[in-house]
Amino acid sequence: MNFETKTLKTWCSVDLNAIAHNYNHTKSKTDSRIICVIKANAYGHGAVPVARRLVKEGCDFFAVSSIEEALELRYGGIKCDILIFGYILPERIPEAVENDISFALASCEFASVLCSISLPKKAKVHIKLNTGMNRTGFNICHSRGYEDLKKALVLIKASDNVSVEGVFSHFAKAENDRAFSDKQWGYFENAVDFIKKEGISPSLLHICNSAGTANYPEKHLNAVRLGINLYGCEANDASYIQAMEFCTRIVDIHTISEGDGVSYGLDFIADRKMKIAVIGAGYADGIFRCLSDGKGYVLIGGKKCPILGRVCMDMTMVDISSVENAKVGDVVTIWGKELPTEEQAKNAGTISYELMCSVAPRVKRVYG
């Protein structure tokens, strides 16, 4: 056990060596530039500590969702390239440009605003193409999307404000739908050709997320984006190592019998003699309330211990009848290397991304 965790009731261990390993494992499989995605506080792992370690491993490009996340990296001493995937308010564009932060250009309206404001130097943008994910971007699945793209390119070429650094899109189901991914790929290739014929030559082209990088080596282009696999989750390659372990402790133990009338949130009443542990974390820490009533479990002493009754804000009750010699202070694994995040996510009816991003700020991250 890490020395620091000995004094903590609830904590989140982050294995930076595992993240470095996952980055280097991906690097060994591609000649393309790797853009490490550390939005949402590096999927809950801690953006600045993760970025600092990856810089040591040779990473020179990060992607985030907002200008606030980008500036957090800059204030944390990260000097390499940063791309904002999400929308940036026009009022914040000069701030992004001043801090040498690239951002997505996803509509003709945004291009018009960008080309009309005063900037300290040229903005670096990545044109975002919607090839079927249907969130934001020029919808090149339809002719009207090309009309909007053409208008934006005309504005860009006439402006001194903009430098097109890249063009990108996003596979919708790269993990399990090659046919749809191939369709998206065709849309993307056609649009890139269109952009080049209009006189703009971006230096970076990227469409592969983690699943795309793993499944479609022929589609790597000159940059790929490493997101969930960076943290060792949702990978079809056993070489990736899970980096996060979410733990708490037993804070109380009860022994109850049938007929005692003890209930937990009035949802569970013992029908036999049982040993119950109260653990020191709840939904305010990141244990999903939908794991109540036996839908989820935790790991204590190597044994799966079902959750009883309702997950509370700060505590959760679990059945430790199968755990010999359990005592107050024992470590409880909510998820980690021995109880994979994907397994707990399946119990919660969600995906590992959501679990990791939901670990609360009040849960201290401990780095090793």
Answer whether 227's CB lies under 8 Å from 42's CB: no
The answer to whether the CB of 255 falls within 8 A of the CB of 233 is no
- Residues near 111 by beta carbon (within 8 Å), at least 6 away in sequence: 105, 151, 152, 155, 156, 162
278 sits in which H/E element: strand 274-279
Q: Would residue 39 show up in a list of annotated catalytic residues for this protein? A: yes
CA nearest neighbour of 312 among 332, 293, 333: 293
Rounded CA separation 20/266 (Å): 46
DSSP state of 234: S
Q: 3-state SS string over 12-38? A: EEECHHHHHHHHHHHHCCCCCEEEEEC
C-alpha 129/C-alpha 148 separation (Å) is 11
Asked whether 85 and 63 are in contact (CB, 8 A), the reply is: yes
Residue 356 neighbours by CB distance under 10 Å: 26
Query: 255 burial class (0-12, 13-18, 19+ CB within 10 angstroms)?
Result: exposed
Both tokens assigned to 67 = 């200008």
Catalytic residue status for 303: no
Catalytic residue among 231, 264, 283, 297: 264
16-17-22 Cα angle (round to 5):
95
Q: Tell me which residues are annotated as active site.
A: 39, 264
